[in-house]
Amino acid sequence: MAGLEFVPALSLVGLLLCGWLFLRSTILTHYDARHRRNSVVQLLFAAVFALSANLLQLLVFEILDLMDPGVRKLNWRFDIVSMLCLLLLVLPYYHSYVALSSKLPPLKACAGAAVLLAAGLCAFWRLGGVVPGIPAGHGRLLTMLEVVSRVGVLGIILVGVLSGYGSVSVPFSYITLFIRPVERAEIAAMESQLRHTVDTIAQKRRNMAGLQQEIEIQAGEASGKAPQRSFFGRVLAAVGGGPADPRQVLGKLQAEVVGLERLRQALHADVIDLRREHQRAVLARTLYGHVQNLLGYILSLYCIYRMFASVRALLFGEDLSSDPVSKTIGQVLRFFSGGHLSIDVLHFSQYLTLAFIGFISISSLRGFLKHMERFFIGLSAGNATTMVLVTTELLGFYTISTMLLLRRQLPRNYRGIISDAIGGEMEFDMLHRWFNSTFLISASLSLLLFYGLLRQKRQEASDRLPLYITPSLQGGHEASRTW
């Protein structure tokens, strides 16, 4: 196994490259070239991505007993210390510097970032003894265990929120019952309104350009002479019905354009929503759509079960000493064999646990990055540097907390690995209570949110119906009364 001693170092370099490529090919594609030139931000994201994946890789190496134990312990300590330094020192300082450098000179921005970092570290230190599950610091400097406990609790709150939202959003997106049928005529009518609004905005902008020219001509006239109107000004005076001063007309047009721009954005969002619903309705009629619908019902049942399990765990506690994988294997074997089949459950559970941990780790990390990518799409007009820094910080907290939660899924003889890596035993029972609480709150609020969105969509659909119906000349009065 000595030949595997260099695998973590080589894989860390490879994961660093993968993180950089992922950032360039997904998140940053929603920004133009001038927002993608900050190489420091890209390097920080790639570093946190590589350390996150490498921590999960080391967990696999521990279960398979690959590499020398001393080398594994050294890699554990290097990854965790590097991750904590990035999360608590490098990223907050650079994020503060980026925020201040746009308004202050470089030296003042550096000093201001240092002050903000010191204030943040002070608040981070004072979390101990105040927040349940975080031990109080016994000195001016925090130990590894005290730092990890603070990061873990904050990250577990994030994991619980994302898990609760995901357990509700996935069934809502899969079940065909929540899909509103959208016809092509409805989409065409909305697109026609959007085109008419765009044309109206363009016409008013041309009028504003003519008025601006009129104002410039008046400003250039001699003070003692009567102002000579331009062609647009003479047409405006001939039409009448408005204020004589072009500046007043220009202000009125600007206010109208602002309102029309808001209408255009709303119509554009409606068109995208209608197209998405139409595609979902078409997909629901296929074999893949039927499978997805069945999966949605299964996931909805799991969501209900998980919410009840969280309530039960909060009220009566949960058994953190047993391995759920080994326990499930034993129950399945006893059920199907009637108690006659006898195998080494602990031996097989080791490899099944490995597969389970790998699946949970990869899917949770992938789900987190997909959620953040959707967030980037929604805020594509924002600052790419700030958004990537926020995502990098959240990814680091997410990884540390996921590693702490995965400890319960390991057989008991492997749980000491994580405890040794973080510097001692934590209040893991309190960490799971944090997760169950945030999961339950997030899932409940997500249910209310999606229920409200569903009612809003149906109400908007009923409000739009008169726009898509063209009654005949003879039955126009009856049709208007019907709707």
Q: What parts of the chain have a pLDDT lower than 70?
A: 1-8, 27, 29-37, 133, 137-140, 220-244, 318-383, 409, 411, 460-483
Which pLDDT belongs to residue 417?
77
Whole-angstrom CA distances from 60 to 215, 327, 364 are 73, 21, 16
User: What was the pLDDT predicted at 53?
Assistant: 86
Which structure tokens are listed for 187?
């989409």
Question: In a 10 Å sphere around its CB, with 0-12 CB exposed, 13-18 middle and 19+ buried, how is residue 74 labelled?
Answer: middle
State the pLDDT at residue 294. 87
On whether the CB atoms of residues 156 and 292 are closer than 8 A, the answer is no
- Return the pLDDT at 152: 85
Q: Could you give phi then psi for residue 217, rounded to 5 degrees?
A: -65, -45
Instruction: Encode pLDDT of 124-179 as tens digits.
Output: 888 877 777 677 766 667 788 888 888 888 888 887 887 788 778 777 777 877 77
- Token pair of 470, please? 């063209």
Q: What is the pLDDT of residue 83?
A: 92
| pLDDT at res. 182 | 77
**CB-CB contact of 395 with 368 (8 Å):** yes
**Encoded amino acid at 338, one letter:** G
- The DSSP code sequence of 41-76 is HHHHHHHHHHHHHHHHHHHHHHHHT-S-HHHHHHHH
Q: How far apart are CA 246 and CA 240, in angstroms?
A: 12
Report the predicted TM-score, pTM, of the whole model to 2 decimal places: 0.64
- By 3-state DSSP, what share of the chain in percent is helix, strand and coil, each rounded to 5? 80, 0, 20
- What pLDDT score was predicted for residue 87? 92
pLDDT at 146: 84
Could you state, in order of their start, the residue ranges of all structural domains in the chain?
A: 1-125+346-410, 184-220+227-284
Give CA 149 to chain center in angstroms: 24
Q: State the pLDDT at residue 111.
A: 93
Task: Give me the DSSP letters along 135-176.
Answer: PPPSSSS--HHHHHHHHHHHHHHHHHHHHHHHHHHHHHHH-G
